[in-house]
């Protein structure tokens, strides 16, 4: 028993003071009230304009649009990951022309809007039909879906290459040197020592990139690939019912939130050995 406890008799903790209505609390509560009111309003709006006929007509269109969006994003991100490997290696290469070329590619695709790239590839390549025909590439570029996939792949590859490069370069030199001192070959060092650490760093940016792709894909309807957003616009232009946009917003928010939560779980699991 310590001295303090003997001298001072234990006492109950002071009663919690009633929280004053500070300015912050007032603002916070009123903003939350606004959000709640907005969501109740939206809910009532959706219930009020509920129309089984519309859902029967446009529901399947929405689902097919959703499927197109998901397919496009998954394929673009996966193929983009493959393309990004040589680009990232090129970026880190000691060979000046190669690294310069990789840099130019990355800069061009990251410095221009995705929608401009999409137009350039879809309509721009359309004017070179004869050349493309001669190269037997026209059958590929004739299809709007292929053009969209091609553009998105090149775009995400540029971003992914930068993520990869940043992650690999974030691994301290000491790790390479340590492996070299142990006589481990360069390839094994890369695969077993550098890459796992780099992936840990790259995990979060990769997640963000996928989310950016989901959101960025909303423009493909402009080149006649009817994704979730395209079906939404089509439904709106036939019904002029604003709930079509609300439904699209709900769908997109669910996709993005689901991705974010999956990523949070992934990150938690993969980095648990780093926690203290």
Partner 1 sequence: MPISKAFTLAASTALLAVTMSAASAQDVVRIGTEGAYPPFNVIESDGSLTGFDIDIANALCDEMEVECEFVTSDWDGIIPALQAGRFDAIIASMSITEERKEQVDFTEKYYNTPPAIAVPKDSDLTEATPEALAGIALGAQSSTTHSNYAEEKFADADLRLYPTPDEYKLDVASGRIDAVIDDVIVLSEWLESEDGACCKILDTLPIDPVINGEGAGIAVRKGEDELREKFNAAIQAIRENGTYQEINDKYFDVDVYGS
Partner 2 sequence: MPGFLTTWFDPFCGPVGLFSLFLSDSLLACGDAGWGDEIAGGVLVTVSLALATLPLGLVAGFFIALAKQSNEKSLRLAANVYTTIFRGLPELLTLFLVYYGAQIGIQQAMRAMGADLVIEINAFIAGMVALGLVFSAYSSEVIVSAFHAIPRGQYEAGNALGMRRGTTMRKIILPQLVRIALPGLGNLWMILLKETALVSVIGLSDILRQTGVAARVTKEAFMFFGLACLLYLVLAILSSIVISAIEQWASKAEMKR
Neighbour tally for 73: CB within 10 Å = 23
The token pair at 96 is: 């000046």
The token pair at 113 is: 């809007």
Of these, 237, 269, 274, 276, which contacts partner 1 (CB under 8 A)?
237
Of these, 54, 176, 234, 260, which contacts partner 1 (CB under 8 A)?
234
In terms of CB distance, is 73 or 171 closer to partner 2?
73
CB of 28 to partner 1, least distance (A): 29
How many CA atoms within 13 Å lie on the side-chain side of 39?
A: 6
16 by DSSP, 3-state: which? coil
Of these, 79, 200, 256, 266, which contacts partner 2 (CB under 8 A)?
256
Count of chain residues binding partner 2 (CB under 8 A): 46
Contacts of 45 (CB under 8 A, 6+ apart): 243, 246
CB of 276 to partner 2, least distance (A): 19
The token pair at 28 is: 């916070």
Q: Which does 107 bind (CB under 5 to 8 A by kind): partner 1, partner 2, none?
A: partner 2
Please say whether the beta carbons of 118 and 219 come within 8 A: yes
CB of 237 to partner 1, least distance (A): 3
Binding of partner 2 at residue 67 (CB under 8 A)?
no
From its phi and psi, is residue 6 left (phi > 0), alpha (psi between -120 and 50) or beta?
A: alpha
Binding of partner 2 at residue 112 (CB under 8 A)?
yes
The token pair at 64 is: 């097919």
The token pair at 46 is: 């959706």
Residue indicated by tokens 């939560």: 261
Map residues 135-174 to x or -, x wherever contact with partner 1 holds by CB under 8 A. Answer: ---x---x-x------------------------------
Q: Which of 145, 268, 156 is nearest to 210 (CA)?
A: 156
Q: Give the whole-angstrom CA distance, residue 220 versus residue 230.
A: 8
Q: Which does 108 bind (CB under 5 to 8 A by kind): partner 2, partner 1, none?
A: partner 2
Of these, 12, 35, 181, 274, which contacts partner 2 (CB under 8 A)?
35
Of these, 77, 125, 148, 157, which contacts partner 2 (CB under 8 A)?
125
Contacts of 256 (CB under 8 A, 6+ apart): 211, 214, 215
CB of 252 to partner 2, least distance (A): 6
Binding of partner 1 at residue 222 (CB under 8 A)?
yes
In terms of CB distance, is 32 or 180 closer to partner 2?
32
- 112-141: which residues touch partner 1 (CB under 8 A)? 123, 126-127, 129, 138
CA angle 22, 24, 29 (to 5 degrees): 100
Q: Give the whole-angstrom CA distance, residue 216 versus residue 200.
A: 25
Binding site for partner 2 (CB under 8 A): 22, 24-25, 27-29, 31-32, 34-35, 107-108, 111-117, 119-120, 123-128, 211, 214-219, 222, 229, 232-233, 242, 245, 248-249, 252-253, 256-257
């Amino acid at each position: 028993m310590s001295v303090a406890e003997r001298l001072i008799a234990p006492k109950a903790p002071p009663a919690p003071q009633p929280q004053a209505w500070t300015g912050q609390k007032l603002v916070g509560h009123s903003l939350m009230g606004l959000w709640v009111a907005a969501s109740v309003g939206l809910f009532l709006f959706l219930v009020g304009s509920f129309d089984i006929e519309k859902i029967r007509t446009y529901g399947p269109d929405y689902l097919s649009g959703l499927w197109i969006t998901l397919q496009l994003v998954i394929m673009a991100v996966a193929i983009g990951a493959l393309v990004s490997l040589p680009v990232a290696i090129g970026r880190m290469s000691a060979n000046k022309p190669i690294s310069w070329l990789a840099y130019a590619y990355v800069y061009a695709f990251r410095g221009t809007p995705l929608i401009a790239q999409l137009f350039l590839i879809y309509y721009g390549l359309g004017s070179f039909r004869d050349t493309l025909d001669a190269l037997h590439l026209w059958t590929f570029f004739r299809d709007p879906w292929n053009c969209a996939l091609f553009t998105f792949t090149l775009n995400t590859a540029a971003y992914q290459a930068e993520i990869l490069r940043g992650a690999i370069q974030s691994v301290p030199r000491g790790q390479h040197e340590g492996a070299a001192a142990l006589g481990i070959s360069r390839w094994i060092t890369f695969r077993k020592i550098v890459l796992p650490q780099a992936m840990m760093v790259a995990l979060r940016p990769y997640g963000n990139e996928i989310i950016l792709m989901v959101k960025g894909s909303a423009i493909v309807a402009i080149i006649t690939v009817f994704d979730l957003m395209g079906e939404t616009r089509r439904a709106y232009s036939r019904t002029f019912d604003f709930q079509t946009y609300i439904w699209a917003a709900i769908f997109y928010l669910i996709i993005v939130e689901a991705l974010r939560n999956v990523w949070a779980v992934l990150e938690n699991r993969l980095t648990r050995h780093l926690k203290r």
